[in-house]
Amino acid sequence: MTVFHKSHLCHNYKMNSDIQDIISSYIDDGVIPGAVVGYIKSDASSILPFGRFTYANDAPLVEEDTVYDVASITKSIPTATLLLLLAEQGVLSLHDRVIDYVPELTNKYRADIEIRHLLSYTVVFDIEELSSIASHGGEEILQTIFSAELKAKPGEMFLYTNAPAILAGLIIERATVSRLDQVAERELFKPLDMRHTTFHPRADIGKDGTPPTEINDRGKLQAVVHDEAANALQEQGIIAGNAGLFTNVPDLLKFCQATFDAYAGKENILNRPVITAMHANASNVPGSPYGLGWEIANRDHMGHYFTPATFGKTGFTGSSIIIDPLTRAAVVILTNNTYPTRPDDASTINSLRSRICDVILKP
């Protein structure tokens, strides 16, 4: 039977009941062992925890503040958001050449790649999946990116991969002369009181304090980075820009609320131009569903009721965040869908995401 803890923030009982029915069915079908769903709508919010850390009957119960590995949400929070903030502060420009920060690049288009190309995923490196070389270590991953040719001139082709976000993280570090985790804490997490958000779960949360993400040849992955490339880089002391963030629903809802306030003119660390950059199409490349660092208008996981201002990001482990500053609605879903083994594709978890978004975002 599905374990459900009703939040003290339950303002919309019908909506919460519908969410419970959806999540319960996916738990009962063995798609996810547990989840936390949080949302903001009409200035009310709810945080709804379900299930357990694993499918074991004695596994810890999921709570409202359970911290999950959010995988590629890292690309947007903090990496892309930090680049947008640094650009607003004048520390760098989104039109700066990447080689001004990463001169190690050797491809023939190296002088044409701008930071904005990284954020829109319109710089496409001709390399295999970085996960396939992760066993050779973080330095091999960096050298592979540095030496890879491009499949097209920057800005002319779209492909979502990890390499641009890894380079984006390096640029943040070199522009600020600080590690990525330190910049994120100083510029984003601390100002927004995201106190449970970290790149160091074992130190900050504890070995057993977060649900495991997979059992594979690395063992049981718990409180360690799930993404192979990010893990290899972190083992060499490099905080990757593509994955490795651990956080919870309350912290992500604080970020969502900050975007609403900034979009409405109540500036915090964010402002309306930054939020607009997140949801405005950043390229003219056909089939490019990205603003600057954020995905836009994707019916596969955003459901049917997104607006032109809706933006979001998913993570491979089963996480997602959807934000609509126009209607002041947000949806955060955290799960460990990859436990104990990763699914063949994202179709099932995307169906869960879409159904939850439809319940919450429907006018």
CATH number where 151 lies: 3.40.710.10
Give the global pTM: 0.96
User: Which secondary structure element, helix H or strand E, spans residue 332, and what is its range?
Assistant: strand 329-335
Within a domain: 225: no
Tens digit of each residue's pLDDT (9 = 90 or more) over 315-351 = 999 999 999 999 999 999 999 999 999 999 999 999 9
Within a domain: 37: yes
Q: How confident is the model at residue 181 (pLDDT cuts 50, 70, 90)?
A: very high
Percentage, residues of the chain above pLDDT 70: 97
Q: Is 61 found in the same domain as 210? A: yes
Q: Is 201 found in the same domain as 314? A: yes
The average pLDDT across 207-216 equals 97
Q: Is 321 found in the same domain as 198? A: yes
Q: Is 335 found in the same domain as 206? A: yes
Q: Is 65 found in the same domain as 21? A: yes
Domain that holds residue 30: 13-70+191-216+245-361
For tokens 């999540």, name the residue: 23
Q: Is 262 found in the same domain as 156? A: no
Nearest Cα neighbor of 130 from 283, 219, 241, 285 is 241
User: How far apart (Å, rounded) are the C-alpha atoms in residues 4 and 96?
Assistant: 49
Q: Cα–Cα distances in Å, from 227 out to 23, 72, 122, 338?
A: 25, 9, 22, 11
DSSP 3-state of 60: coil
Within a domain: 221: no
User: How far apart (Å, rounded) are the C-alpha atoms in residues 124 and 170?
Assistant: 17
Is residue 1 predicted with pLDDT exceeding 50? no
Within a domain: 141: yes
Q: Is 177 left (phi over 0), alpha (psi -120 to 50) or beta?
A: left
Q: Is 207 found in the same domain as 180? A: no
User: Which secondary structure element, helix H or strand E, spans residue 166, and what is its range?
Assistant: helix 163-176
Q: Cα–Cα distances in Å, from 273 out to 49, 218, 315, 338, 346?
A: 34, 42, 25, 36, 32
Within a domain: 113: yes
The average pLDDT across 155-175 equals 97
Across 164-234, the runs of DSSP E, i.e. the strands, are: 214-216, 219-221
List the structure tokens of 34: 């547990």
Tens digit of each residue's pLDDT (9 = 90 or more) over 62-101 = 999 999 999 999 999 999 999 999 999 999 999 999 999 9
Q: Is 323 found in the same domain as 211? A: yes
If one compares 283 and 355, the residue with the highest pLDDT of the two is: 355
Q: How confident is the model at residue 128 (pLDDT cuts 50, 70, 90)?
A: confident
Q: Is 339 found in the same domain as 197? A: yes
User: How far apart (Å, rounded) are the C-alpha atoms in residues 183 and 179?
Assistant: 6
Tens digit of each residue's pLDDT (9 = 90 or more) over 249-276 = 999 999 999 999 999 999 899 999 999 9
If one compares 318 and 43, the residue with the highest pLDDT of the two is: 318
Q: Is 140 found in the same domain as 33? A: no
The residues, any chain, with a CB within 8 Å of residue 143's CB and separated by 6 or more, are none
Within a domain: 4: no
Within a domain: 148: yes
Query: In the chain, how many domains are there?
Result: 2
Is residue 130 predicted with pLDDT exceeding 50? yes
Q: Cα–Cα distances in Å, from 198 out to 120, 183, 189, 235, 242?
A: 25, 12, 9, 16, 14
For tokens 């969502």, name the residue: 256
Within a domain: 310: yes
Q: Is 116 found in the same domain as 50? A: no
Q: Is 353 found in the same domain as 262? A: yes
List the structure tokens of 235: 């083992």
